[in-house]
């Protein structure tokens, strides 16, 4: 018989707040600092409005379709709209169901907030506000069900402890799809206007990620402790490796590179945190940093797409690596599942299928949504005058810095 656990509940309450810390202030500061000064408020606004829209949708019907009883492996059965019928004493495992709802809400909101980074400086606010609920319903909710809610990927045995596919690949490839519809900015150089903001955001992300990964087992136990340890060491390895590459390539360490490497390491370990040990985590963080570095500095210029704040380059590419690496480094002693190194090569194939399915579905639906809005809204991109002058002044009539007051 499943029993309520005060310890598990207290821990997941804390983890929920840590993920909220990531979803709102951390991403806002990270992206705001990386953006141009003329767009910092708009950049932050995109994260706040996205999280707010997702929060409303999630409690009305999003959670129900993502985690309801499975229908043919594709979507959950609709029930408990507006959370009606879910009582204070109802349990999901050993924690209140309402707490699980909020924990997952923070994940959904964070995913959409991450996506906004590729689109800053050139997307109409109206278009973003319409795109977010459509994307949540047609992309995030189905993928979350496939992987976590009892859908076909979960039935196949795909491993995604805290969101390699659901959060990072999903947000990364969707962001790339919309960025392609938007087209390149007039000035697409990444020159952070306030690197201090970005460092603060990265630090808050690193801190909050301990709850993001540490809480995904829904219990205060050894698995949570392992998730925190491997997450931290993967982030550390990612930072160190990116710094070494910077020194080799440009002759000096860069702070922007250091925080980018840390985030890449955190993304890479996300799907694996409940399945790998420290050895696997070190290797995941190392390779994630290398993959994201070369994706941003070589692949993006060669292919010519404008992923403004490198959402695909870091979240997408490191998410792909992390998902596949989970199938390589999973050890039975941690998550009860063996990967390639532990004698189960089939797990790698399953992970690759989950990666391909997420990429293809999310890209196609996101691209089609963006194209529909492009035609129905007479364009989803701001006009040239607004883009050059800055979205803060043109769309919000505000400025982040008032030096005359």
| Over residues 221-226, mean pLDDT | 98
Q: Which residue has the tokens 């694996």?
A: 272
Residue 316, classed as helix, strand or coil, is: helix
367 sits in the region (left: phi over 0; alpha: psi -120 to 50; else beta) called alpha
Any idea of the CA torsion for 31, 36, 42, 43, to the nearest 10 degrees?
-10
Confidence category of residue 187, pLDDT binned at 50, 70, 90: confident
For the stretch 351-378, pLDDT in tens is: 999 999 999 999 999 999 999 999 999 9
Q: Note the pLDDT tens digit of each residue in 225-275.
A: 999 999 999 999 999 999 999 999 999 999 999 999 999 999 999 999 999
**In the predicted model, what is the mean pLDDT of the chain?**
97
Neighbour tally for 255: CB within 10 Å: 15
Position 191 confidence tier, pLDDT thresholds 50, 70, 90? confident
Q: Specify which residues 71 forms β-bridges with.
A: 75
pLDDT (0 to 100) of residue 2? 75
Residue 14 burial (CB count, 10 A)? 14
Does the pLDDT of residue 190 top 80, yes or no? Answer: no
Instruction: Return the CATH architecture of domain 6-395.
Output: Orthogonal Bundle (1.10)
User: Is residue 120 pLDDT above 90, yes or no?
Assistant: yes
Cα(148)–Cα(73) distance, integer angstroms: 11
Question: 280 and 329 in contact (C-beta within 8 Å)?
Answer: yes
Residue 405 has pLDDT above 70, yes or no: no
Question: Tokens standing for 99?
Answer: 């707490």
| Rounded Cα–Cα distance for residues 334 and 223 (Å) | 7
Question: Domain map of the chain by residue range?
Answer: 6-395
Three-state DSSP class for residue 76: strand
Give residue 1's pLDDT: 66
Average pLDDT rounded to a whole number, residues 58-62: 98
Sign of the Cα pseudo-torsion (344, 346, 350, 356, in order): positive
CA dist 108 and 293 (Å) reads: 26
* pTM for the whole structure: 0.97
Q: Which of 297, 247, 240 is nearest to 265 (CA)?
A: 240
For the cut 80, the answer to whether the pLDDT of residue 380 exceeds it is yes
Residue 324 in this model has a pLDDT that exceeds 80: yes
DSSP, collapsed to helix, strand or coil, labels residue 109 as: helix
The answer to whether 49 and 400 have CB atoms below 8 angstroms apart is: no
In the DSSP assignment, the letter for residue 73 is T
* Tokens 């490839």, residue located: 173
The dihedral formed by the CA atoms of 51, 24, 113 and 385, expressed in degrees to the nearest 10: 100
Is residue 161 within 8 A of residue 101, CB to CB? The reply is no
The token duo for 140 is 């995030």
pLDDT (mean) for 149-174: 98
> Count of CB atoms within 10 A of residue 172's CB?
32
- Give mean pLDDT, residues 118-134: 97
By mean pLDDT, which of 11-15, 22-26, 188-192 is the weakest?
188-192
Report the alpha-carbon distance of residue 132 to residue 134 in Å, rounded. Answer: 6
Tokens, residue 131: 């795109």
**Confidence bin at 186 (pLDDT 50/70/90):** confident
The whole-angstrom separation of Cα 224 and Cα 245 is 32
Beta-carbon neighbour count of residue 378 at 10 Å?
A: 8
């Amino acid at each position: 018989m499943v029993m309520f656990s005060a310890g598990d509940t207290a821990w997941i309450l804390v983890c929920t707040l840590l993920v909220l810390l990531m979803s709102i202030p951390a991403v806002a500061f990270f992206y705001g600092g990386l953006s141009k000064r003329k767009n910092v408020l708009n950049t932050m606004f995109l994260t706040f409005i996205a999280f707010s829209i997702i929060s409303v949708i999630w409690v009305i019907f999003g959670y129900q379709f993502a985690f309801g009883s499975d229908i043919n492996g594709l979507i959950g059965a609709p029930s408990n709209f507006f959370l009606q019928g879910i009582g204070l004493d109802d349990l999901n495992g050993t924690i209140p169901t309402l707490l699980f709802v909020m924990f997952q809400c923070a994940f959904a909101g964070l995913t959409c907030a991450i996506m906004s980074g590729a689109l800053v400086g050139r997307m109409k606010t109206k278009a973003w506000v319409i795109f977010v609920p459509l994307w949540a319903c047609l992309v995030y909710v189905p993928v979350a069900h496939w992987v976590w809610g009892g859908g076909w990927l979960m039935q196949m045995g795909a491993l995604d402890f805290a969101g390699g596919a659901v959060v990072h690949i999903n947000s990364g490839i969707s962001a790339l799809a919309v960025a392609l519809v938007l087209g390149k900015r007039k000035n697409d150089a990444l020159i952070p206007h306030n690197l201090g903001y970005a460092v603060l955001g990265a630090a808050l992300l690193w801190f909050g990620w301990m709850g993001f990964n540490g809480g995904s087992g829904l219990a205060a136990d050894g698995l949570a402790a392992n998730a925190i340890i491997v997450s931290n060491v993967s982030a550390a390895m990612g930072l160190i490796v990116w710094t070494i590459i910077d020194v080799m390539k440009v002759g000096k360490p860069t702070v922007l590179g250091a925080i980018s490497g840390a985030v890449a390491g955190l993304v890479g370990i996300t799907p694996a945190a409940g399945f790998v040990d420290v050895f696997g985590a070190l290797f995941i963080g190392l390779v994630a940093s290398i993959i994201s570095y070369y994706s941003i500095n070589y692949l993006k210029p060669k292919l010519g797409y404008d992923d403004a704040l490198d959402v695909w380059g870091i979240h997408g590419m490191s998410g792909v690596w992390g998902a596949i690496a989970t199938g390589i480094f999973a050890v039975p002693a941690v998550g009860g599942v063996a990967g390639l190194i532990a004698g189960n090569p089939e797990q790698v194939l399953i992970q690759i299928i989950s990666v391909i399915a997420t990429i293809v579905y999310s890209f196609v639906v996101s691209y089609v949504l963006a194209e529909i809005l492009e035609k129905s809204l007479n364009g989803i991109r701001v006009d040239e005058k607004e883009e050059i002058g800055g979205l803060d002044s043109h769309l919000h009539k505000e400025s982040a810095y008032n030096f005359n007051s």
